[in-house]
Amino acid sequence: MGRFSGKTAVITGSGRRKGLGEAIARHLASQGAAVVISDIGKPADPATPAEHIGATDEMEAIAADIRESGGQASTRVCDVRDLDQMRALARHARDVHGSLDIWVNNAGIGYIMKPLLDVTAEDWRAVINVNLTGCFFGIKAAAEVMVEQGKGGRIINIASQAAKSGFPHAQAYTSSKHGLVGLVRSAAIELGPHQITVNNVCPNHVTTGLGAWQNEYFSKVVGAESVEAYLKAMADRIPLKRPGKPEDTAKAVAFLCSDEAEYITAESMNVSGGEEPH
């Protein structure tokens, strides 16, 4: 028995190995939640290249690992840019596992990084459509089922330090994450009477599969001698002297999903080792 026994959690963008979504799913499952591993499954357009998405076979492998460890897990392919698919994902959780109690909007694009003057309209739309509109669709789809169930729920967006501070070469990304702050503040007001809390978790840099790509990219942008030198400089400016780990974010999500956090909503919680004070 765990603190989430009898509850079901959907985690979007959780079908990629070494990703934040996988870490969140594994952590919630280890504490008793039935989890739905969801990702886009295959490239759909130039904005969703194979190297940056969770493929169907990876989704199934992650779910199988959780089941082999004694947990409950299913999979569902979903493009977060499509409201109908998000609604189907919410119904899948309810119909397969008996309820929908936790929804984590984790899917995001963090690999379209360019100098401002090089950003195209297509680049901008690609990031906003996944990172902001996708989260709105997730909140809406989850809330529809949770309100119908009548027993409350937890909705969490994985935002970023970029929800609080600006970064070069990340105009669309930073804008999308800042937008999540306003989104949860408004959604929390409307969903509060239904005992549904809505919050953001804002990690600083985490070296996931995507994070490794970002290390390579930004070490060149800042002119670091090497990726190792870039990471050392990063650690030196963080009060706790290390970048974030996937489990740091997963633990924060679990706290916000727990009974201990029942009176916390509309918040954007930093998980940054003290790097982000805002």
Tell me the CATH number of domain 8-206+244-270, given options 3.10.290.10, 3.60.150.10, 3.40.50.360, 3.40.50.720.
3.40.50.720
Q: Which two three-digit tokens encode residue 80?
A: 């977060």
Mark whether 217 is an active-site residue: no
Digit-coded pLDDT (tens) for 10-46: 999 999 999 999 999 999 999 999 999 999 999 999 9
* Residue ranges matching CATH 3.40.50.720 in the chain: 8-206+244-270
Specify whether the backbone of 98 is left (phi greater than 0), alpha (psi in -120 to 50) or beta. Answer: left
What are 123's two structure tokens?
Answer: 């680049």
> 208 pLDDT exceeds 70?
yes
Query: Mind listing the pLDDT tens digit for each residue in 96-145?
Result: 999 999 999 999 999 999 999 999 999 999 999 999 999 999 999 999 99
Question: Which residues have C-beta within 8 Å of that of residue 149, sequence separation ≥ 6?
Answer: 94, 99, 100
For residue 241, give every residue at least 6 positions away whose Cβ sits within 8 Å of its Cβ, in sequence order, or none: 235, 273
The pTM score is: 0.95
Two structure tokens written together for 177? 């994450």
Selecting among 173, 217, 230, 263, the annotated active-site residue is: 173
First and final C-alpha spacing in the chain: 37
Number of other CB atoms surrounding residue 84 within 10 Å = 11
Q: How far apart are CA 276 and CA 254, in angstroms?
A: 21
Residue 110 CA to residue 118 CA, distance in Å, equals 16
**Is 159 exposed, middle or buried, given 0-12, 13-18 or 19+ CB atoms closer than 10 A?**
buried
